[in-house]
Structure 1
Amino acid sequence: MIVPLDLFLAMLLTGCGNTRTEYVPAPVVPIPAELLIDCVIPEIPAIMSYGDSVELNERLLAVIEQCNADKAAIRQIESNRQGKESVQR
């Protein structure tokens, strides 16, 4: 009675030993929309004083800085994607 039970258990154990690993590609994470919006250029008045010109330059530099930060974030996302793709291959 013990021998048939042992054979049955041995068959059950060998059935689990034949598993197959299958890799599924991860979905691509889209770039956030706030990084893709256009940079808003401040309005340039027709008549400016020297002080207005300095303030305009400051606002323009702030816009450029924000755009550069957005582009750096996009480059980081793309480099992370490239790293994950090379690992999956």
Structure 2
Amino acid sequence: MALLTGCGNTKAEYVLAPHIPIPASLLADCPIPDIPDKMTWGDIAEYNIELMSVIKACNLDKKAIREIEQQRNAPDIGAK
């Protein structure tokens, strides 16, 4: 058992990870296009296209936030 005493000397060293702030542009509310008072069927189709564009942009923002969070939570492989 005397051979195992060398392992009891390890000391945990904690290193602070840099804080990566999430840009305010990614946290901003997604714009809601104004609904016209009168719409034709064609206007409704165009409005739906506009809504889908807004949703796509919002999803890109959320994806960017997820990537930032993954970077925050990923272990630094090169750290010593």
For 2:69 and 2:77, locate their aligned partners in 1 and report how far apart those are by CA, in whole Å. 12
CA distance in structure 2 between the partners assigned to 1:83 and 1:47 by the alignment: 51
Specify the alignment match of 2:4 in structure 1: none
After the TM superposition, which segments of 4 or more aligned residues of structure 1 sit over 6 Å from their partners?
Answer: 85-88
Q: Find 1:62's aligned residue among 34, 37, 53.
A: 53
Matched residue, 1:39? 30
| Change in CA separation of 1:69 and 1:50 when aligned onto 2, cut-off 3 Å | same
Higher RCO (CA-CA < 8 Å; seq separation 6+): 2
Which ranges of structure 2 fall in alignment gaps of 5 or more residues? 1-12
Larger relative helix fraction: 1
Post-superposition offset of 1:47: 1.4
What is the alpha-carbon distance in structure 2 between the residues aligned to residue 47 and residue 35 of structure 1? 33
Once the two structures are TM-superposed, the CA of residue 29 in structure 1 deviates from its matched residue by 1.1
Q: How many equivalent residue pairs?
A: 67
- Report the TM-score, using the length of structure 2 for normalisation: 0.73
Q: CA deviation at 1:24?
A: 3.5
Q: Deviations over 1:25-55 (max 9, x none)?
A: 1321100111011000100112100111011
Normalised to the residue count of structure 1, the TM-score between the two structures is: 0.66
Separation in 1, partners of 2:74, 2:24: 22
Percent of aligned pairs with the same residue?
52
Aligned to 1:84: 75
User: What is the one-letter code of the residue matched to 1:36?
Assistant: L
Q: Which structure has the bigger radius of gyration?
A: 1
Aligned to 1:25: 16
What is the distance in 2 between the residues matched to 1:39 and 1:57?
Answer: 15
